[in-house]
């Protein structure tokens, strides 16, 4: 089990390093497109929680 935790920690550390590298390089067109797609997907997933139908409405 300890090897699994070590592998997961290494994976997260590599992801953090890759993310910092992307931040230092600056946003590219692909980064902007990915942010737009991820933002619209998050809004699509969250929106039903905010726009619930009225429970008193029948029919």
pTM over 0.85: no
Domain map (residue ranges) of the chain: 2-50
CA distance 2 to 19: 26
Task: Give residue-wise pLDDT tens across range 1-58.
Answer: 889 989 999 999 998 888 888 888 888 888 788 778 888 888 787 777 777 666 666 6
């Amino acid at each position: 089990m300890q090897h699994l935790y070590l592998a997961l920690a290494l994976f997260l550390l590599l992801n953090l390093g890759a993310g910092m590298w992307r931040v230092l390089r600056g946003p590219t067109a692909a980064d902007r497109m990915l942010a737009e797609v991820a933002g619209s997907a998050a809004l699509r997933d969250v929106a039903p929680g905010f726009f619930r139908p009225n429970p008193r409405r029948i029919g």
